[in-house]
Structure 1
Amino acid sequence: MAWNQPGNDGQDRDPWGSGNKGGNSGGNKGGRKRGAFDLDDFFRNLGSKLGGNKGSGGGDGENKQPLRISGRLGMLAIAVIVVVWAGSGFYTIKESDRGVVLRFGEYSGVVGPGLNWKPTFIDRVEPVNVETVREQATNGMMLTSDENVIRVEMNVQYRVTDPAEYLFSVTNPDNSLRQALDSAVRGVIGQSEMEQVLTANRAFIRDETQRELESTIAPYKMGITLLDVNFQAARPPEDVKAAFDDVISAREEEQKTIREAHAYRNEVLPLAKGNAQKMIEEAEAYKASVVFKAEGEVASFAKMLPEYRAAPEITRERLYIDTMERVLSNTRKVIANDKSNSMLVLPLDQLLRESKASAAKGASSARMETQSNNSSSSNSAVSTQSSSDIRGGAARVGRQ
């Protein structure tokens, strides 16, 4: 039935309770039944709770207990919100990262790895990896100082050392570093000749590029540190590549020949120096021996001079005999008779060896010593007679 349908015992079913002109049942004000949900009462109670209004009239006693329950629920809700907000602030930074803290968008500091806490909706943390070695590369056709074109490939390795500068000093530090590397490489290649770039001067170009790159990025304070610059490749254009390959091969062959020559020199030179030193030492020894021998002969002649002055003939004879004895002592002795064709070979060296052997045996015992002495005496007499005969024969031969 509609709320304003006739035949409702004179009562309108006005949902707002304002259209009832007649009586009401149970004395309910405004024609509303007790116990029904009233938005006006709800907002009135909420306003009295928040604004401190205790209410007026006879309904205060009925609303005290609902107000207490709603206050406790509000405090519990606030506590839950605070716990959730505090728990949401915990975060972890990796071992290889550093956290850059932004408080209301402004830089506040850097936090280390591990478990940390931040106030949610107030601080924001940007993790930055500071352990990974990063890399930027550049390549392209470049013009050399001798107006040749070559293709160069070079890369740079770096690491982030200051996370705050890395995030805020430059808009895109990685892209800025790549552009700075490209500019440094082109500047260094433009000051070098093509042959130097392709062959002998690669290490110098790499070092010069690194110095140029460091001086370029230093004023920007990008928060990065260069670790190494690698000169990967340098190739001539395809039209002249074969000719440059021949040049490189010839240079490598030259270096190989130089290394082989150095190895041969290192092998032969010490040996030659050793032989030269040996010859010098032998010459020095020979010189010393000749000098000493000459000095000895001078001293000998100096001692002999008084005897020569006293008896010249006898001294000359003695010198001659001594010389012949010294010469003939090392040769076999042959005596020839001028009156006949007979020759006599005297084994004087054998006789001398036998006399020495007999002398050694005579030292073993007294009896053998006596016999040895007798034998030695006889042998000595024979030797003396033989020596005298040799000297006489030599003297006669010399006179003749």
Structure 2
Amino acid sequence: MPWNDNSSSGSGNSGSGKPGPWGSPPPEDGKDAREDKAQRPSGGRGGGPRGPRKPPSPGPDLNDTLDRLNARLREFFTDGQGNVRPRAVGTVIAGAAALYLATGVYFVQPDEQAVVTTFGAYSRTTGSGAGYHLPWPVEAVEKVSVTTLNRIDVGGMDGADVPEESLMLTGDENIIDLDFSVQWRVNDASKYLFNVRDPDATVKAVAESAMREVVGRTPLQPVLTTARGQVQEQVAQLMQSVLDRYDAGVFIDGVQIRNANPPTDVIDAFRDVAAAGQNAESAANVARGEAAKVVQAAIGYREQVVREAAGEAARFNQVYEQYRLAPGVTRERLYIETMQRVLANSNKVILDTKGSGPVVLPPDVFRPKASAPPAPTARSGQ
């Protein structure tokens, strides 16, 4: 059934502002129908049974927040008549003082020492745990690790050579290219901080000086081969004595020679000399071994001769005792034993001296005995 606006006067429903048949007024004259469609949410995300979306709520206003904070501070510090409350001021001062005093609390780790200074001057040293010092600017604290190993390289590192540091003169007036490292740590934090301006540079200078002194009184060949450990130990001891005289608060943990060679220009000749020395040492070892064998053989032969002589002497003494008891029998027995030894391996001809005819010896008597022919060997395949 068609809809009519009975309450309207004039022509049609133009400009009446009354709602249409679907609950919304008809569009005014001169406006596009699309404006009305844009004002009315359609179904979907913004419309439908849930209605239109609410606009995002604005965040807190900074000015309002500051105003409320100022109002609360005003209420805290003043009374209703605008007078300042002394108790509130005292509370603020006490809180600020407590915070200021709390800045003096400090904690020291087990591997550290803390040095407390008063107006920049040394006051005391504390160990691990909690401590307290008067707040700045009266006192200050500086912590130093006393267990961390520090390392200093002299002569170069990672293939980079520094000839000014590595070239040294040995005790036999040869030049050596030597690189080494020093491990050190702090053993007294107060001395470390106040007695030495630049600890790293000081330790490096002392290390270079000590190494030059020790190498300067040691020949080249021992430094290159067998005396490295001795040189390292002497350098560490010399460094420690010098740093103790400086009162530096530094402990030398060890010195390690990383590289020790002749200069590059003459390194081939030095290697030839070293090889010749090794060959000579090897030949000497072989000769000493042969000499030891000869000596042992001579000692064995001497012992054998002495024992044989002792045995013969004992045997002679026994024969002599028998000879004293029966001289004739003993002489006969000695004669027979001697003839047995002499005639055992010889051809013998027995002659009867009582005969009157001539004696003719057979010709085979003076011929040497022919050795037995070797046994024939069996041929293969027979």
Output the TM-score relative to the length of structure 1: 0.52
**3-state SS of 1:108 partner:** strand
More helix by share: 1
Cα 1:82–1:245 shift into 2, 3 Å: same
User: Quick one: which amino acid aligns to residue 239 of structure 2?
Assistant: L
Cα 1:182–1:325 shift into 2, 3 Å: closer
The reply on whether 1:234 has 2:260 as its aligned counterpart is yes
CA contact (8 A) 2:243 2:250 kept: no
Indicate the residue corresponding to 1:30 in structure 2: none
Indicate the residue corresponding to 2:187 in structure 1: 161
1:114 to 120, 129, 132: 129
Cα 1:225–1:262 shift into 2, 3 Å: farther
Deviation at 1:171, TM superposition (A): 0.8
Question: Which 5+ residue runs of structure 2 have no aligned equivalent?
Answer: 1-76, 156-165, 339-349, 353-382
**3-state SS of 1:229 partner:** strand
Deviation at 1:81, TM superposition (A): 2.6
Deviation at 1:175, TM superposition (A): 0.9
Cα 1:85–1:249 shift into 2, 3 Å: same
Cα 1:321–1:127 shift into 2, 3 Å: closer
Bigger Rg over Cα:
1
- Alignment of structure 1 residues 290-309 onto 2, 5 Å: 290-294=316-320, 296-301=321-326
CA contact (8 A) 2:108 2:129 kept: yes
State the distance in 2 between where 1:324 and 1:262 align: 51
2:87 to 72, 77, 84: 72
Indicate the residue corresponding to 1:377 in structure 2: none
State the distance in 1 between where 2:275 and 2:300 align: 38
CA contact (8 A) 1:165 1:222 kept: yes
Cα 1:233–1:75 shift into 2, 3 Å: same
The reply on whether 1:247 has 2:282 as its aligned counterpart is no
CA contact (8 A) 2:211 2:235 kept: yes
The reply on whether 1:183 has 2:199 as its aligned counterpart is no
- Alignment of structure 1 residues 246-395 onto 2, 5 Å: 246-261=272-287, 273=299, 276-277=302-303, 279-294=305-320, 296-301=321-326
Indicate the residue corresponding to 1:370 in structure 2: none
Deviation at 1:105, TM superposition (A): 1.7
State the distance in 1 between where 2:196 and 2:183 align: 19
Deviation at 1:176, TM superposition (A): 0.8
Indicate the residue corresponding to 2:144 in structure 1: 128
The reply on whether 1:213 has 2:242 as its aligned counterpart is no
123-132 or 83-92, larger mean C-alpha shift: 83-92
Indicate the residue corresponding to 2:113 in structure 1: 98
Indicate the residue corresponding to 2:103 in structure 1: 88
CA contact (8 A) 1:151 1:236 kept: yes
CA contact (8 A) 2:116 2:125 kept: yes
Deviation at 1:142, TM superposition (A): 2.9
State the distance in 2 between where 1:128 and 1:210 align: 23
Cα 1:141–1:286 shift into 2, 3 Å: same
RMSD: 4.4
Deviation at 1:137, TM superposition (A): 2.5
State the distance in 1 between where 2:276 and 2:180 align: 26
Question: Which 5+ residue runs of structure 1 have no aligned equivalent?
Answer: 1-45, 47-61, 305-315, 328-335, 339-400
1:151 to 167, 174, 177: 177
- Alignment of structure 1 residues 199-210 onto 2, 5 Å: 199=225, 202-210=228-236
Cα 1:198–1:320 shift into 2, 3 Å: closer
**3-state SS of 2:191 partner:** helix
Cα 1:268–1:115 shift into 2, 3 Å: farther
CA deviation digits over 1:115-171, x for unaligned, max 9? 333332233222222222222222222344665543221222223222211111111
State the distance in 2 between where 1:250 and 1:111 align: 61
Length, aligned pairs only: 261
CA deviation digits over 1:30-77, x for unaligned, max 9? xxxxxxxxxxxxxxxx9xxxxxxxxxxxxxxx97x956xx22212322
CA contact (8 A) 1:199 1:248 kept: no
The reply on whether 1:142 has 2:168 as its aligned counterpart is yes
Deviation at 1:213, TM superposition (A): 3.0
**3-state SS of 1:120 partner:** coil
State the distance in 1 between where 2:248 and 2:86 align: 55
Deviation at 1:245, TM superposition (A): 1.3
State the distance in 1 between where 2:177 and 2:126 align: 45
CA deviation digits over 1:163-205, x for unaligned, max 9? 2111111111221111122223334444555455444554554
